Structure 1
Amino acid sequence: MHHRFNTQKIITISSPLCLLLLWEIFSQMNILDSRFFPPPTLILQTLWDMAESGELFKHITVSLTRILFGFLLGVIPAICIGLLMGMYKFMKYTFSPIIMIFMPIPTLAMLPIILILFGIGEFSKMVTIAISVFFPVAINTAAGVANIDQIYVDIAKNYQANAKDFFFKIALPGSLPVMLEGIQMGQAIALLTIVAAEMIGATSGIGYLIWMNYKAFLLPEMYVGLILISFFGYFFSLVLRGLERKLLPWK
């Protein structure tokens, strides 16, 4: 078993490395057009240069601040509304139609309205992320409460548990596994949304970095932006998986 796990680890690490090596060789030999696919070594050198000049950290800080506050702005109300929808039929019938109306609309299609309401400052970008994150988390949280084993609900009723106890001791822990899946989906959507939002209406951030360098045909710099997005997507995913292991040791 241990041997198989090691083999899987080796394959997992070596497959992207092999891809990068092939890219490097093909780009150096001009089998791949190096204007469009600069060799990975050049991209890494560009990343290093941008990090040294401090330009990179400015964009990273701006994007991460937007993501963090936008994420919290979306996740906290989503969890509260999701729990209430799962616990009370009245809340379910109130919020379900609103969610069903707005959920299919891509967040970026709502960007003009967000800009009209909140202007072109930082807050509008946070709201854009918050809206995109809200729906998967709210729906998954409500589904998580609905999936709680009926026996726990019956016990709570028999012991006449008050709403606060039911909320914190049954609804919240019981919905956690499905809720965390929603949060995991939400973080992926947050990254997609911030990149697109920064491409459209920003003067800083990773999305802006990608778009402006593409327009200026500075492709190594553009690839640096893509690497950053890939890295943060993977990093956030690992953080949430770690959180899941802490909160749900039985899983």
Structure 2
Amino acid sequence: MKKNFRPFTLKLGILLLLLLLWNCGLSFFHGWVTLWWLGLLVNFLLIVGIAELIGKMIPSFYAPLYRRSLAVSFPLLLFLAWELLVRGGVLSPDWFPPPTRIVQALWELITKFDEFSKTSLLGRPWLWPGALWGGRPETVGELLAESHLYATLMRVFVGFFLGAIPGILLGMVMGVSPTIRTMIDATLSAFYVLPKIAIFPIMMLIFPDPFGEGPKIAVVAISVFFLVTINTMVGVRDIEPVYLEAGRNYGARGVQLFYHVILPGALPVVFAGLRLALGTALIVIIAVEFVRAKTGVGFLTFYYWEILSPEKMYAGLVVVMVLGVLLTAGLKKVEQWFMPWRRP
């Protein structure tokens, strides 16, 4: 049966007309200067209504593509609104530089090498092939050390794996054994609520080189450990007893029961914990780099705040946000590989 799009088309036309009249009215009466927040709110509601109607008219075959386009177009609309508010004098360009200036600053951070600090956002990747084949005096390690992005990613990845692996193991044990869970749970909860950045001075006291990479990686690892442990324990503990009984009825015992029933049943919650832990790892390392680092995206962002270069400071924040999106997307791919039954 063919779907009747006439009511949707009429509503869509009305909403588009309202959107046009609202923005023209605000511009004509100079309402954007004083009521810009109301203008944005009404625009957002009208755009949501338009998107809803278009979504109902889109064929189901194109629905996934339409949802992805919404996810991309919304931040673009935010940047467009930001640009227009700055150009219109609503926001100060000194503290809220327009996105076009931020993009230019980001391009400078990527392409220009700071001869004073001997660093840049990406370092000098065009020299890596020569260093690999011995055609450069610098080694690959020395070239990587010039990159703020590499410094941050190295700390995140190393700390994440050092915290996630023991966290999964301890969480599995706590989930399986009520005795161990009762003994450790209260202590784990007490340490979990500590602000992770507050642990950093303790790590600086423990490690022989307080200004090296050890304390930074250790703080990330500790932050990841608690989140992964708690989520893994909950995932194992909350497996439906009927699944365990079904596994035993089919002869699964010990390792077989763990591998075929407990582990697959807990994986969704474990990966939820890993996603939270990965985001927390990035947040913690950026905060640590604000405080005590000479390289890293966090250091770069704080440095440009200190010298009052807001467009480059915002560019550093954009890099952090992009890192968060890419790391989460990568972990989702790993999750789909481990759990093929949950693939879309």
1:100 corresponds to which residue?
189
Paired residues in the alignment total 250
**TM-score, structure 2 as length reference:** 0.68
Q: CA deviation at 1:212?
A: 1.2
Range 59-68 or range 111-120, more displaced: 111-120
**Which string of whole-angstrom CA distances, capped at 9 and with x for unpartnered residues, describes residues 217-238 of structure 1?**
1111111110011001111111
**Which string of whole-angstrom CA distances, capped at 9 and with x for unpartnered residues, describes residues 87-106 of structure 1?**
11232123212211101111
Q: In 2, distance between residues paired with 1:155 and 1:117?
A: 49
Please give the secondary structure, in 2, of the residue aligned with 1:250.
helix
Structure 2 stretches lacking a partner, 5+ long:
1-59, 114-119, 123-146
2:297 is matched with which residue: 191, 206, 219? 206
Give the percent of matched residue pairs that are identical in Structure 1 and Structure 2. Answer: 32
Q: In 2, distance between residues paired with 1:74 and 1:108?
A: 16
1:70 corresponds to which residue?
159
| Stretches (4+) displaced over 6 A | none
2:171 is matched with which residue: 62, 77, 82? 82
Q: In 1, distance between residues paired with 2:215 and 2:231?
A: 25
2:96 corresponds to which residue?
37
Q: CA deviation at 1:45?
A: 1.2
Q: In 1, distance between residues paired with 2:72 and 2:193?
A: 37
1:27 is aligned to 2:92: no
Amino acid at match of 1:68: F
Amino acid at match of 1:165: Q
The structure whose Rg is larger is 2
Q: CA deviation at 1:150?
A: 1.8
Q: In 1, distance between residues paired with 2:244 and 2:72?
A: 45
Range 215-224 or range 10-19, more displaced: 10-19
Contact 1:83 1:171 in 2 (8 A): no
1:11 corresponds to which residue?
70
1:60 is aligned to 2:137: no
**TM-score, structure 1 as length reference:** 0.92
1:215 is matched with which residue: 291, 297, 306? 306
Q: CA deviation at 1:174?
A: 2.0
Structure-to-structure mapping, 1:1-251, within 5 angstroms = 1-54=60-113, 55-57=120-122, 58-118=147-207, 119-154=210-245, 159=251, 161-162=253-254, 164-251=255-342
Q: CA deviation at 1:123?
A: 1.3
Structure 1 stretches lacking a partner, 5+ long:
none
**Which string of whole-angstrom CA distances, capped at 9 and with x for unpartnered residues, describes residues 108-156 of structure 1?**
1222112111222101111111111111211111111112232343355
